[in-house]
Amino acid sequence: MEDTPETTITTIKVGEGAKGEVIYFPDAEVLTYRKEKGSGTCYYPLTVYCPKCSRTHEYNPKFKEWRPRWLIDKEDYYFNISYAKDLGGEIYPRCNKCGFDLRKDYQYGHQEEVEKVIKEEYHISISSAKYENGFFVLPLESFKKGVREAYSKKANLLISINNSTYKLGWKVYSNPDNIISKDNHIYLRRTLWSQA
Ligand SMILES: [Zn+2]
């Protein structure tokens, strides 16, 4: 009777390596390559990535459009893609996180994202505002400082009174008819403001 050789069968899945019985995951595939760009380093993809889950574009408030970011980091790409079958039986690449169908073009610049960017970048807060007889009253210096910052960006001015936030649009505060200056304070009618 022959000796049975001691054999162990190790199952290896695609993408795994094996050393004896130990299954190990090889170093992550190289998914990007780097290139110096100006004063920084930009990473470019070598394989498909999810455009929706990756941070490759940003809203440019100046040009009012979505543009590729100047520098993109490795971590900005989301490469976790698998293949799925659609109803017609066709195999297609799909994002494992958000389910985006990579056969489609991704439209950057959804309105709610634009609004979020505008909200974050385009509001200048002015402190020490108070309400008085139908007017919101702001210290002159704070108002001047806020407007200096906000004016060229056409940003809204924001004030907070009793835990409510109110905003004033550029069109309103850039119109001198709306502004009353008195005793080192600026008076703006309550009705000119909207709740933010
Ligand atoms: Zn995704």
- Find the mean pLDDT for residues 99-128: 79
CA 42 / ligand 1 centre spacing (Å): 21
Which region holds residue 15: left if phi is over 0, alpha if psi is between -120 and 50, else beta?
A: left
Q: Is the pTM of this model over 0.85?
A: no
Looking up tokens 């000119």, which residue turns up? 192
Q: How far is CA 41 from CA 26, 51, 54, 67, in A?
A: 26, 20, 17, 18
CA 104 / ligand 1 centre spacing (Å): 12
pLDDT in tens, 81-96: 898 888 998 999 999 9
CA 129 / ligand 1 centre spacing (Å): 43
CA 118 / ligand 1 centre spacing (Å): 24
Domain limits, the chain: 32-116, 123-195
CA 50 / ligand 1 centre spacing (Å): 5
Q: How far is CA 20 from CA 6, 9, 16, 102, in A?
A: 12, 9, 13, 38
Euclidean distance between CA atoms 147 and 174, whole angstroms: 9
The pLDDT value given to residue 138: 96
CA 23 / ligand 1 centre spacing (Å): 29
CA 110 / ligand 1 centre spacing (Å): 15
CA 41 / ligand 1 centre spacing (Å): 24
Assigned CATH for 123-195: 2.40.240
CA 83 / ligand 1 centre spacing (Å): 13
CA 127 / ligand 1 centre spacing (Å): 40
Euclidean distance between CA atoms 168 and 156, whole angstroms: 5
pLDDT in tens, 48-91: 999 999 999 988 877 878 889 999 999 999 999 898 888 998 99
If we measure between CA atoms, which residue out of 119, 100, 103 comes closest to residue 111? Answer: 119
Side-chain-side CA neighbours of 145 within 13 Å: the count stands at 10
Query: 171: part of which helix (H) or strand (E)?
Result: helix 170-173
The pLDDT value given to residue 38: 87
Tell me if 59 sits within 8 A of 117, measured CB to CB. yes
Instruction: Identify the band that residue 114 occupies on the pLDDT scale cut at 50, 70 and 90.
Output: low
The dihedral of CA 184, 190, 193, 196: what is its sign? Answer: positive
**What does the CA dihedral 91, 95, 99, 102 come to, rounded to 10 degrees?**
-60
